[in-house]
Amino acid sequence: MANEQSSSAEESNLSSLVSSASLVLVGSLFGSFSKLFEQVLLGRVLSQPAFDAFSKGFSILMLSTTIALVGFNEGIPRFMSRFDDERDVRGVWVTGIVIAGLAGIGIAVGLLAGGDWIRQVFFGADSPPLLVTLFALAIPLVVGLRVAVGAIRGHENTIYRTYAYDLLYNGLRVGILLVLLFGVGMGVLAAGYAYVIAAVVAVVVAHVLLNRLLSLRGPFRTHAGAMVRFSLPLVVASAVSSILSQVDTLMLGALASAPNAAGIYNYGYPLAAGLPVILSVFGFLYLPLASRLDDDSNRAEVDRIYKITTKWIYIVAFPLFLTFVAFSGDVVEIVFDVTDPRSSTALAILSVGFFSSAANGRCQDTLSAFGYTTYILVVNTAAAVLNIVLNIVLVPTYGVVGAALASALSFFSLNVIAMLVLWRLSGISPFSRSTVKTFVLLPLVLFPLAFALSSVVELSIVTLPLFAIGAGLVAVALVAVTGCLQAEDEIPIEQIEERLGIRIPVIHRYIPSRRE
């Protein structure tokens, strides 16, 4: 009886995670599509210098927001999932909103005070002075939104995050951008206004939804000391992680000899950055779930869930990765109407770096759930230092391609080191007989075929999605017929069937029975 209850609980944990992932996938795809649409729209409508200025302003917003959050985007859901008393749970939110909010305001004030210097060094004298001001004003608003989403995550609620962040914040921002660009005739400043207005609305709505889960008014017990001790390493780790994703643009602006190099780079970067979206769909509930299981001394269940989710992240992300590498030139031309070979080369190189995260799974979330935040700091710092050094060495000579190489090598190093640290500390790794076969088989079989096809075929706006879908079907079929599936894979497959409203009996034939 005890074994049956344990098995039922384990199935419930995995089923909840996969069910959450399917909902987050919808929201994340919408969010990622809106961000990509935003990049494509601005890339097509704005002049290249104006798009270059937007890219730098966006990088400043992302980096500043990450620093201001002081690691609480991970600390808030972790601590909330471990408390039962509502006063403690409310205190976690209060701690986050006060400390991160003040940090966001402080950074915004600093940027406003040094706006002229920042504009001259990174943007050039011809860029609109108001652009830096608008992105600076957005910082504390986005921080407040992220704190609310972190608290919603701590309650293991998926739908409110999807409403407030994925749909409202991203959708409203794009809508405002369209109105300001085409209705008002505003230029690059439209992006700045869109970020500010969308963040104002979204932060209010997110807290209204959070109030349904937890009354924000009432007595509270803060745990500032414990949260800061946990999150302090994540402050630097998050900052340097953001550096990994944003410093290339700033380095190109400061070091590249070619004009508008940052804008050219950002024709490839946002496409490659779509690959981790597949990774993030499992991450929203993974951290609080892993933290709760660790609190129950059940790391074996964490290991099982980690292996299964990593394999499916890899399978789902692989077709897009294959498309971006084998048909990089076609993809950039279709999306941005740009034929610059530097952009397509950057896309192919960056895709390799970003895809290494898929093979690594929710490694850093697992380290965070177990409380190993100092190791996250060390790993991320090492990767960020490597990225900066490589940018300094490569960008002056190789420009856009050098920045892509620096970023890809840094991401790959980060993921390998983090995986080794997790394995050394806890014995948990993404590798099992099933995952190793999957990791080796898909690239070994599909890449030669894709490269051969790319030498004779050019993708169009119609054939691009058809190729990606076809590659996905072939990947799933290949995994099934070669014995890469295991009994637990029935759960994610059933969730996919439920969402699609169809049943795929041929796949179930290749899933081993739990009795075997």
Taking each helix axis from N to C terminus, what angle separates 2-45 and 170-178, rounded to the nearest 10 degrees?
Answer: 10
Q: Are 177 and 194 in contact (CB under 8 A)?
A: yes
Is the dihedral angle over the CA atoms 27, 29, 32, 34 positive or is it negative?
A: negative
Predicted pLDDT at 515: 47
Neighbours of 291 (CB within 10 A): 25
d(CA 185, CA 219): 49
Neighbours of 333 (CB within 10 A): 20
Helix, coil or strand: residue 331: helix
Q: pLDDT tens for residues 68-93?
A: 888 787 788 888 877 878 898 899 99
d(CA 180, CA 112): 23
Which residue, among 268, 275, 258, has the nearest Cα to 405 in the 3D structure? 268
Over residues 287-311, the mean pLDDT reads 77
Predicted pLDDT at 123: 72
Q: pLDDT tens for residues 354-374?
A: 888 777 777 888 888 788 878
> Does residue 114 or residue 442 have the better pLDDT?
442
d(CA 46, CA 83): 49
DSSP string of 47-112? -HHHHHHHHHHHHHHHHHHHHHTTTHHHHHHHHHTT--SHHHHHHHHHHHHHHHHHHHHHHHHHHH
Over residues 330-347, the mean pLDDT reads 86
Decide if pLDDT at 29 tops 70: no
Q: pLDDT tens for residues 431-459?
A: 888 888 999 999 999 999 999 999 999 99
Q: Are 101 and 147 in contact (CB under 8 A)?
A: yes
d(CA 234, CA 309): 24
Q: Are 88 and 78 in contact (CB under 8 A)?
A: no
Is the dihedral angle over the CA atoms 449, 479, 12, 10 positive or is it negative?
A: negative
Decide if pLDDT at 1 tops 50: no
Q: Could you tell me which residues come within 8 angstroms of residue 167 by beta carbon, excluding any fewer than 6 positions away?
A: 27, 30, 31
Which residue, among 120, 121, 114, has the nearest Cα to 136 in the 3D structure? 114
DSSP, res 114:
T
The angle formed by the CA atoms of residues 66, 356 and 417, to the nearest 5 degrees, is 75
b/e per residue 340-356 (b: at least 16 CB within 10 A): bebbbbbbbbbbbbbbb
Specify the residue for token string 């030669």.
Answer: 448
Predicted pLDDT at 127: 73
DSSP string of 395-431? HHHHHHHHHHHHHHHHHHHHHHHHHHHHHHHHS--S-
d(CA 106, CA 70): 13
Predicted pLDDT at 3: 47
Tell me how many domains the chain contains.
1
Asked, for residue 480, whether it belongs to a domain, the answer is no
Asked, for residue 91, whether it belongs to a domain, the answer is yes
Among 44-53, 101-110, 257-266, 445-454, name the one with the lowest average pLDDT: 257-266
Q: What is the span of the domain harbouring residue 191?
A: 20-222
Q: pLDDT tens for residues 370-417?
A: 888 788 888 888 888 888 899 888 888 888 888 889 988 988 888 889
Asked, for residue 495, whether it belongs to a domain, the answer is no
b/e per residue 177-204 (b: at least 16 CB within 10 A): beebbeeeebbbbbbbbbbbbbbbbbbe
d(CA 84, CA 264): 50
Decide if pLDDT at 31 tops 90: no
Asked, for residue 123, whether it belongs to a domain, the answer is yes
Q: Are 468 and 319 in contact (CB under 8 A)?
A: yes
Length of the chain: 516
Neighbours of 432 (CB within 10 A): 17
Asked, for residue 288, whether it belongs to a domain, the answer is no
Which spans in 214-298 are helix H? Answer: 224-255, 261-265, 269-272, 276-281, 283-295
Over residues 95-120, the mean pLDDT reads 88
Predicted pLDDT at 17: 52
H or E element at residue 491: helix 490-500
Asked, for residue 308, whether it belongs to a domain, the answer is no
Q: Are 387 and 243 in contact (CB under 8 A)?
A: yes
Over residues 27-56, the mean pLDDT reads 78
Which residue, among 327, 336, 268, has the nearest Cα to 446 in the 3D structure? 327
Q: pLDDT tens for residues 467-484?
A: 998 998 899 889 888 888
Asked, for residue 110, whether it belongs to a domain, the answer is yes
Which residue, among 95, 100, 87, has the nearest Cα to 221 in the 3D structure? 87
Asked, for residue 210, whether it belongs to a domain, the answer is yes
Q: Could you tell me which residues come within 8 angstroms of residue 229 by beta carbon, excluding any fewer than 6 positions away?
A: none
Q: Are 236 and 376 in contact (CB under 8 A)?
A: no
> Does residue 109 or residue 298 have the better pLDDT?
109
pLDDT band at 198 (very low <50, low <70, confident <90, very high): very high
d(CA 33, CA 26): 10
